[in-house]
Amino acid sequence: MKAPAVLSTALFLATLALSPGQSTAAGTQVADPSGLDRSAADIAVIDAQDTDLWSRGPTSRPLSPEAAQKILDEVTRIIDRSPYAPPSRLLGTRLPKAVDLRGESPPVADRGDVSVPTSVLFATVYYQMSQSLKHFRHPAWDRMNPEHQGSVAFVRAMQRAGGFEDVYQILQNYGTVDRAEMPYNPLGPVVEPLPDQLQAALPYRISRYAALWDNGDAIPTKPYDNPTENAKAWLADGFVLSCRLDPRSHPGFPGDTNPPARYFDPATQPGINPSDGVALVGYNDQINPSGRGAEHRGGFLMVNSRGPRWNGDMHGYLWLSYAYVRRYVRDCSIMVPGGSDTPVVTGYTYSEAEYKGRTVPTIIITGKNFGYYRRAADAEFNGVAADYVVRFTNEAIEVIPYSCVKAGPLVVYNWDGTPSNALWYVPLIPKSTSE
């Protein structure tokens, strides 16, 4: 098996710090063509800020594969029964007083522009998709590693509309690659995914998505009445939420010309046109203990995609009061990750291909979740890597094994070095050339 190309956090930071022409002084922004605001000082703050600024929710051990699959199966059945406003399986139970999913979420992103479609992409692909894969499929993944973060650039290249529905359908039909494979560059052209990248994305398709509420695109004439208790229940079950709000209609909303704020709870609301996509990564029933009433004491933790310097000491986050989310947030959606992305070998056949000017025997391996030939991906015959890879797609691999390989287990590894099941391989006996 090829050695996995793992990019550690320390190496990643060092690479950024040594970018030509960039200052490495503490607190100085290091330009990143991916569109993420990435100074070493900021990243350190993102990891350390929790205990200083916020009350953390209850901690729990990572889900086992069996427990995660049980939750996803139950959630899938709920959404199939209620494709709109599905009730969380925890709704009606005693919820925790606070939940915080930032420890499973990627660092705060800077999308580099103010376009509505881009904000929706970061809310869904970057925050929601990345967290769901870590929470339900890969608890050991490093959330700081670009190889473990959803690629906004991949989905943006296929996007035809600016709403959540279009993005979720792309994720359901095509999946996405990781940010290291296809970085986001707000200043560069939109680059279509290569055929191999389309193959690499297929194991990471989502299975379901649903709106917890959707008030349509018309400008409202009166406040909404959104089911925020259901939103809290979904967060308590480990699901990051995506929603749209309208910061331009709120006097005092932090950012741009307004000063930072820790807790946002507007007393009045003019006509609104919610459009900016953000993610909700937690809640706290007592984040504003001096508020009058439960809806003004508690709040949802929102993460923006304007970089970790947005909103001062909140470093890209903002608490939105329960009252604000219930009355003024246009829509709110969940997504459910797809099935296991572990490679599975179902069979193999013998074939032939042209190699170095002659016809040689090959093996065609069939199955699923192979992705494509990158990083640690490979096929091994009795512990020996294939001599040459003719083609490598998500469901079929054609390789030339070494002629010296004896019968033994056939195993396929994906890009992350995850092995498939072992299938017994028997070499093809060459035909006799004697008369």
Segment among 42-56, 150-164, 364-378 with least mean pLDDT: 42-56
Neighbours of 363 (CB within 10 A): 21
- Per-residue 3-state assignment (H helix, E strand, C coil) for 278-331: EEEEEEECCCCCCCCCHHHHCEEEEECCECCCCCHHHCCEEEEEHHHHHHHCCE
Query: pLDDT tens for residues 50-69?
Result: 333 333 334 467 999 999 99
State how far Cα 40 lies from the chain centre: 22
Q: Is 392 within 8 Å of 362 (Cβ atoms)?
A: no
Query: pLDDT tens for residues 125-180?
Result: 999 999 999 999 999 999 999 999 999 999 999 988 778 999 999 999 999 999 99
Q: How confident is the model at residue 269 (pLDDT cuts 50, 70, 90)?
A: low
Q: Is 116 within 8 Å of 187 (Cβ atoms)?
A: no
- According to CATH, the superfamily of the domain at 344-425 is Immunoglobulins (2.60.40.10)
Task: Spell out the alpha helix ranges (H) of 37-129.
Answer: 40-53, 65-81, 116-121
pLDDT of residue 326: 95
Query: pLDDT tens for residues 276-303?
Result: 899 999 999 999 999 999 999 999 999 9
Joined tokens for residue 377: 């991906």
Instruction: Classify domain 40-337 at the CATH topology level.
Output: Cathepsin B; Chain A (3.90.70)
Q: What is the mean pLDDT of the chain?
A: 86
Domain ranges across the chain: 40-337, 344-425
Q: How far apart are alpha carbons 177 and 151 in whole angstroms?
A: 6
Instruction: Give the chain's end-to-end CA distance (angstroms, integer).
Output: 41
- Evaluate whether 40-337 and 344-425 have a shared fold: no
Strands, E, within 52-183: which ranges?
Answer: 98-100
Segment among 38-52, 176-190, 336-350 with least mean pLDDT: 38-52
Query: pLDDT tens for residues 236-264?
Result: 999 999 999 887 766 788 987 889 999 99
pLDDT of residue 49: 35
